[in-house]
Chains A and B, each alone.
Chain A
Amino acid sequence: MTITLYDYTLSGSCYKVRLLLNFLGLSYDRRQMNFYPGRQHKSPEFLEINPLGQLPALQDGDLILRDAQAILCHLANKYDADGHWLPRDERFGDVMMWVMFAGGELMNSSAARLHDALGYKLDVHAARTNAHAAFRVLEDHMTAREIAGRKWIVGDTPTIADIASFPYIALSGEGGIGHEDYPALRNWMRDFRRLDRFHAMPGVPEFV
């Protein structure tokens, strides 16, 4: 069965999916979309794939999915038999809670980046303020995790909660949101970047 990813290299949301595909060692077809300046994600052909006109989208056999978080859940559910990335025990709810946070509050960091890097018209001050508020929530959580001797958002090993959260924290500088105030997030990002099969993307420096 072929997996096709409708992808844009510079999208942090697409990057989430590429990270998990890599961690799982899955091969896939990349359908490269001209997101900027071509707005191909708003073309009639792509709206057939995702009526919301957003990237990424994923086709897996007959199944077509949109939303990076849903795609992560699908891939982990189907291809990660031992539940390493999406545990099916008492950790499941906790993982899902942080996955939703990554697709929700953390997207303020994405908005600030779209404003600064691609010239989107939006309230960048509000986006930055809300992104900082979200970063604080995760910073406080990771501080408590550090004190408990843990490195990852949930449990003892990385999960899709870490994958979903990483891109828009790592890329936040592009939206004018620095990492200076978040020492626990910096430690966590360093550990994440040292994972086996991790790969960088433009905006996330290659060297750790």
Chain B
Amino acid sequence: MRTSPYRLVENFLDLAHLCFIHKDILGDPEKSEVVAYKTEHRKDADEIWAVDCAFYQPSASKASTTGQMTKYIYRVMSPFSVMLYKTVNGDPSRNDAICVFIQPLDEADCLAYMPMALVDETSTDGDLIEFQQSIFLQDRVILENQRPALLPLDPSYELPTRADASSIAYRRWLKAMNMRFGIFEKQAA
């Protein structure tokens, strides 16, 4: 993907885009509200977490047949790796887990690997892979057309809203660790 690894992580963390970019699958434009969720910097592991996330989804996974409020927990393990835990249809004791591990090839060029562990009695591996690839290619159009490709850390350059709490926490964390690679440095006027 021709973008910075951070754009990919933020896209993965983002709930508000689901109903536009993954319309009819992971979101419904008529039910676009992102209810408040919590973000945490877990200092022991030095990870960013977003918990209590919930979003209405018409077809949350390959196995789902009806719309539901899906619950998500997001976890950013490192600047280039992120994963989510997601409600399993019909089994509240278990979670689906989907990871994105990103290998930067250059500041604005990266390879993404997506291991998944899913609870699904009916779909074939091929079905699951194709479902996830479809989601991924819907995002790719967006990711390759954000300007700049590098990530700005100045909140006045890209204006966040409450739904972006996880992105705000992630950018703060990158800033605190003084990350420079793949970061957009505004030219002095």
Q: Which residues does A use to contact B, with CB under 8 Å?
A: 8-10, 32-34, 36-38, 40, 116-117, 173-174, 176, 202-203, 205-207
| Contact between chains at A176 and B129 (CB < 8 Å) | no
| Contact between chains at A206 and B23 (CB < 8 Å) | yes
Closest to B142 in A: A205
Question: Complex formed: what's the CA distance from A34 to B136 in Å?
Answer: 16
Q: Which residues of B contact A10 (CB under 8 A)?
A: 130, 133-134, 137
| Contact between chains at A9 and B141 (CB < 8 Å) | no
13 A-B pairs besides A32-B127, A202-B134 with CB distance below 8 A are: A8-B130, A10-B133, A34-B130, A36-B133, A173-B141, A173-B145, A174-B140, A176-B2, A203-B137, A203-B140, A205-B141, A206-B20, A207-B20
Q: In the complex, how many angstroms separate the beta carbon of B29 from the nearest chain A beta carbon?
A: 9
Question: Complex formed: what's the CA distance from A152 to B126 in Å?
Answer: 37
Number of A-B contacts (CB under 8 A): 48
Contact A34 to B125, CB < 8 A, known contacts A10-B134, A176-B2: yes
Q: Which residues of A contact B103 (CB under 8 A)?
A: none
| Contact between chains at A40 and B126 (CB < 8 Å) | yes
Closest to B126 in A: A34
Chain B contact residue count (CB 8 A cutoff)? 19
Question: Complex formed: what's the CA distance from A40 to B124 in Å?
Answer: 13
Closest to A119 in B: B111
Question: Complex formed: what's the CA distance from A201 to B138 in Å?
Answer: 8
B96 at the interface (CB under 8 A from A): no
Q: Which residues of B contact A33 (CB under 8 A)?
A: 126
| Contact between chains at A9 and B2 (CB < 8 Å) | no
